[in-house]
């Protein structure tokens, strides 16, 4: 059973400057809940309670948030309204056992993940990129864990992306398994992986979304992975190397709505859609939006 997770939060958040001059991007809230919290909640709900948070120098507030638990948390919430949201947040933070690994320099996603090697050891683990927020009654992490049970190996979540956007994603060359082996989502066997290809070089329109399961052997492979796209050590290249060396790799076309909260427009889309669904602010937000749209015509 997989119980370990890595949440990658070492990036500099340049798309959210100037806010990220002082605040880590992962603590920017969608409505009232930090982006980081959605990843913590998804991990804990999937039984992944041993969590390594990969952070970076200057992002100490992340550590402060993720390691709030027990007495500290109760103290921080003294006088706060006992809302359902606050109770649920407390439960998640109390259940997660989070350790911090620091990525000293931004050398790429593969490099960031390798910072967790000492804590994870030789076990398989789930990796989360908090920029990708997916809403579904069965989380992507749970969907990936089911796929891993059926087919051990490397797993990555994928969804179809517009052809002109392949330069923003890891793109997967794959074929669907002939029989449906999952209760949620569709599993493909991976035959090749390429990071951020030009549209004309992309082997498909299936782009990787930030949820993975890696075997512990990924760490040794990352150490041998040369810099790739953007001159960075890419996890996509490390997965491809591990696959070429004989580890099976699978792409899960998951069920759920994905929000790219790593850029201001995607972040705003999530805030608006989540807000419209919330009984406490939905009706008010709808009125505000309708008025704003009328006035901007």
Residues that bind ligand G1P (CB under 6 A): 109, 129, 131-132, 169-170, 195, 207-210, 234, 236
Taking the complex as a whole, the smallest distance from the CB of residue 234 to ligand G1P amounts, in Å, to 6
Taking the complex as a whole, the smallest distance from the CB of residue 208 to ligand G1P amounts, in Å, to 4
Comparison of 34 and 210: residue with beta carbon closer to ligand G1P: 210
- Output the six-digit token pair for 54: 């990969």
Comparison of 195 and 253: residue with beta carbon closer to ligand G1P: 195
Comparison of 89 and 134: residue with beta carbon closer to ligand G1P: 134
Taking the complex as a whole, the smallest distance from the CB of residue 293 to ligand G1P amounts, in Å, to 30
CA distance 205 to 200: 11
Angle at 272 between CA 30 and CA 41, to 5 degrees: 35
CA distance 93 to 91: 6
Comparison of 42 and 131: residue with beta carbon closer to ligand G1P: 131
CA distance 112 to 214: 14
Taking the complex as a whole, the smallest distance from the CB of residue 209 to ligand G1P amounts, in Å, to 6
CA distance 194 to 171: 5
* Residue 177: φ, ψ to 5°: -65, 145
Lookup result for tokens 């990796």: 127
Q: Going by C-beta distance under 8 Å and a sequence separation of 6 or more, which residues neighbour residue 82?
A: none
| Position of minimal CB gap to ligand G1P | 170
Comparison of 190 and 209: residue with beta carbon closer to ligand G1P: 209
Taking the complex as a whole, the smallest distance from the CB of residue 282 to ligand G1P amounts, in Å, to 28
């Amino acid at each position: 059973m997989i119980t370990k997770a890595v949440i990658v939060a070492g990036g500099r958040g340049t798309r959210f400057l100037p806010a990220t001059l002082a605040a880590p991007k992962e603590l920017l809230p969608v409505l009232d809940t930090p982006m980081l919290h959605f990843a913590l909640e998804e991990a804990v709900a999937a039984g992944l309670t041993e969590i390594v948070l990969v952070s970076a120098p200057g992002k100490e507030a992340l550590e402060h948030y993720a390691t709030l638990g027990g007495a500290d948390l109760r103290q921080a919430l003294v006088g706060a309204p006992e809302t359902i949201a606050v109770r649920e947040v407390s439960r998640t933070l109390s259940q997660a056992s989070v350790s911090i690994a620091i990525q000293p320099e931004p050398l790429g996603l593969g490099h960031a993940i390798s910072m967790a090697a000492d804590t994870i050891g030789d076990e398989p683990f789930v990796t989360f990129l908090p920029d990708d927020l997916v809403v579904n009654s069965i989380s992507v992490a749970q969907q990936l864990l089911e796929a891993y049970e059926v087919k051990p190996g490397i797993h990555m979540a994928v969804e179809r992306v517009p052809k002109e956007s392949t330069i923003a994603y890891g793109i997967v060359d794959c074929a669907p398994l002939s029989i449906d082996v999952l209760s949620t989502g569709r599993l493909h066997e991976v035959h090749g992986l390429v990071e951020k290809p030009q549209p004309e070089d992309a082997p498909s329109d299936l782009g990787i979304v930030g949820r993975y399961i890696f075997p512990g052997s990924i760490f040794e492979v990352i150490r041998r992975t040369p810099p790739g796209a953007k001159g960075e050590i890419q996890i996509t290249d490390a997965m491809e190397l591990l696959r070429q060396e004989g580890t099976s790799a699978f792409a899960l076309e998951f069920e759920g709505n994905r929000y790219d909260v790593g850029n201001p427009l995607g972040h705003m889309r999530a805030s608006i859609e989540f807000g419209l669904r919330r009984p406490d602010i939905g009706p008010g937000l709808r009125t505000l939006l309708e008025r704003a749209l009328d006035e901007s015509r």
